[in-house]
């Protein structure tokens, strides 16, 4: 019987993880945050009164077994002087399906069938008006996911303006999981928006599945400046209830000094360092390996190596 894995996240981090994991003998349920209000997704939300579809499109594309030219079309972003400017084909397809069905869940299911996706993709919620909020260390309140990302102040806490209604299928998936994974990616705008809802926290408290966190490669300005692996775990745990992270995957890759300097000067980011003493104090198992690679001059997780480590963890017992 295939192991059931539930993965929380959004954006590029989750898509990278799923790209490597999708061909292993697993039943994957990817749960996607739907609070994005920027770029194409934000404009479509405002015009059609719907949840965010951008991260969902990206995840479906990476889970798809269709040919690469179809995936390329799905990810194509228009550059034009008309209202189409900035929109991706996949976002427009999901929007049209949403207008036909009135359900984001059904729209995802239809597109998944069309693109030969063999795993389940679920939005956290089908609520149309979902607004992510944040308080900064200076006490200011920031409204909107894209505004949080672009905020130049250090974030103190995130919350929803109104807590969304979580899909029952999300809660069921957590209850039936053999492993729950918190994907790498932005903590405040990709991971935490999925797990700060009370129904999700309750479901995590009641599951017997271990909770795994895949740590980010680099820190993020205003969010995790100078954070170690242990700091990431501690921050995520502060949002959880009784259940905490059980195991973390972190990279011990040797990073070229030129790449490190590029991140420091251009993006104000630093490599996330492994601090074994703090990880041990948090009672978290550490799985460390050389899982980073360079693509186009940037540091990326190697999706196949990462998936292999996850499979090893699942099968070792």
> In terms of domains, do 63 and 169 share one?
no
153 within some domain: no
Q: What is the pLDDT of residues 222-266, one digit of tens each?
A: 889 999 999 999 999 999 999 999 999 999 998 888 888 888 888
CATH number for the domain including 223? 3.40.50.10680
Give the closest residue to 193 by CA, choosing from 11, 68, 2, 1: 11
Q: What is the pLDDT of residues 19-53, one digit of tens each?
A: 999 999 999 999 999 999 998 999 999 999 999 99
Look at residue 151 in the predicted model and tell me its pLDDT.
87
> In terms of domains, do 173 and 311 share one?
yes
Mean of all residue pLDDT scores within the chain: 94
Residue keyed to tokens 């680099």:
218
* Chain center to CA of 161: 20
Percent pLDDT > 90 in the chain is 87
Q: Determine contact, residues 208/52, Cβ cutoff 8 Å.
A: no
57 within some domain: yes
> In terms of domains, do 168 and 302 share one?
yes
> In terms of domains, do 244 and 197 share one?
yes
Give the closest residue to 78 by CA, choosing from 90, 67, 60: 90
Q: What token pair was written down for 225? A: 């400046």
Q: What percent helix, strand, coil does the chain show, rounded to 5?
A: 45, 20, 35
> In terms of domains, do 14 and 66 share one?
no
Give the chain's domain count.
2
Distances (CA, A) of 245 to 222, 280, 283, 284: 23, 12, 9, 7
Could you tell me whether strands 179-182 and 298-301 are parallel, antiparallel, or unpaired per DSSP bridges? unpaired
Give the closest residue to 292 by CA, choosing from 259, 264, 267, 246: 259
Q: Determine contact, residues 310/248, Cβ cutoff 8 Å.
A: no
Across the range 104-124, mean pLDDT stands at: 96
Across the range 11-20, mean pLDDT stands at: 91
Handedness of CA 103, 143, 218, 181 (dihedral sign): negative
> In terms of domains, do 234 and 201 share one?
yes
295 within some domain: yes
Q: Determine contact, residues 47/92, Cβ cutoff 8 Å.
A: no
Give the closest residue to 59 by CA, choosing from 254, 194, 204, 231: 194
Rounded distance between C-alpha atoms, residue 281 and residue 224, angstroms: 20
Residue ranges making up the domain that contains 17: 3-33+164-315
Report the alpha-carbon angle 197-198-203, nearest 5: 105
Look at residue 317 in the predicted model and tell me its pLDDT.
63
Q: What token pair was written down for 1? A: 């019987």
> In terms of domains, do 22 and 96 share one?
no
Could you tell me whether strands 298-301 and 292-295 are parallel, antiparallel, or unpaired per DSSP bridges? antiparallel
139 within some domain: no
Q: What token pair was written down for 204? A: 């995590």
Q: What token pair was written down for 165? A: 């209604």
Q: Determine contact, residues 74/115, Cβ cutoff 8 Å.
A: yes
Rounded to 5 degrees, φ, ψ at 158 are -115, 155
136 within some domain: no
- pTM for the model stands at 0.95
Rounded distance between C-alpha atoms, residue 145 and residue 131, angstroms: 7
């Amino acid at each position: 019987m295939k192991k059931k894995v539930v993965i929380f996240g959004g954006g590029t981090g989750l898509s990278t993880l799923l790209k490597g994991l999708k061909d292993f003998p697993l039943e994957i349920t990817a749960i996607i945050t739907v609070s994005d209000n920027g770029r194409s997704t934000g404009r479509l939300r405002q015009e059609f009164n719907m949840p965010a579809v951008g991260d969902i499109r990206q995840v479906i594309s990476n889970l798809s077994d269709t040919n690469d030219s179809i995936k390329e079309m799905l990810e194509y972003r228009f550059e034009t002087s008309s209202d189409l400017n900035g929109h991706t084909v996949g976002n427009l397809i999901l929007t049209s399906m949403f207008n036909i069905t009135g359900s984001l869940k059904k729209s995802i299911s239809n597109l998944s069938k069309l693109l030969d996706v063999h795993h389940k993709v679920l939005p956290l919620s089908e609520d149309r008006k979902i607004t992510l909020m944040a308080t900064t260390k200076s006490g200011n309140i920031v409204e909107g996911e894209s505004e949080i990302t672009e905020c130049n102040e250090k974030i103190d806490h995130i919350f929803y303006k109104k807590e969304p209604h979580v899909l029952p299928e999300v809660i069921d998936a957590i209850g039936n999981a053999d492993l729950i994974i918190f994907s790498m990616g932005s903590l405040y705008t990709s991971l935490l928006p999925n797990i700060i809802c009370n129904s999700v926290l309750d479901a995590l408290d009641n599951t017997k599945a271990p909770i795994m966190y895949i740590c980010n490669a680099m820190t993020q300005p205003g969010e995790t400046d100078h954070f170690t692996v242990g700091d990431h775990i501690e921050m995520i745990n502060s949002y959880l209830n009784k259940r905490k992270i059980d195991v973390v995957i972190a990279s011990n890759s040797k990073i070229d000094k030129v790449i490190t300097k590029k991140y420091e000067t251009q993006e104000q980011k630093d490599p996330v360092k492994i601090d074994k003493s703090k990880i041990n104090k948090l009672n978290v198992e550490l799985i460390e390996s050389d899982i980073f690679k360079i693509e186009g001059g940037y540091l990326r997780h190697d999706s196949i190596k990462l998936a292999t480590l996850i499979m090893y963890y699942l099968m070792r017992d």
